[in-house]
Amino acid sequence: MNLTQKSIIVDEIAGALARAVEGKRGRAALEATVRFLKEAEPRYTWVGVYLLEGDELVLGPFLGKASPHIRIPLAQGICGAAARAAETIIVPDVNADPRYLACSLETRSEIVAPIFVAGRVVGEIDIDSDLPDAFDPRDPELLERAAALLAEQW
């Protein structure tokens, strides 16, 4: 499969996501996005949204095992790092990254994409996979499109 074909697939998924989120705002839009992403991609073992409140990230809607990390200080975790850097972070091997806060022992890789409203990080989409090195360039592209859709419905 070449890059152009990969982009077409991301376009198709992002289009279906836009239809799933259409007409929903706020928490309903977050819930619809989490549900859509979880169902769309079997590699996504845990899908959730964290919302920035002061200097903490607070867990919003999620699907997957309950996480012990309901509130994450910005100084901690892959989640904190992505919010501070204001960029998507992919960790192909969570056990090799000292920033990693474990949610489930089965988790092997993680991707976190910030959500920007008016140029500021307001939250992020966090996805864990039980597969090692589960993410390729399509995943940040899809999550950044999902984050942009959420920003429109914020």
Applying CB under 6 A, which of residues 83, 89, 121, 128 lies at the interface with ligand SME? 128
10 vs 51 by CB, closer to ligand SME: 51
Extract the tokens encoding 57. Answer: 């990230």
3-state class (DSSP) for residue 117: strand
CA distance 93 to 107: 9
128 vs 139 by CB, closer to ligand SME: 128
23 vs 132 by CB, closer to ligand SME: 132
72-111 mask for ligand SME (x: CB under 6 A)? Answer: x----xxx--------------------xx-x------x-
126 with 110: CB under 8 angstroms? yes
CA distance 27 to 16: 19
Per CB under 6 A, 67 contacts ligand SME: yes
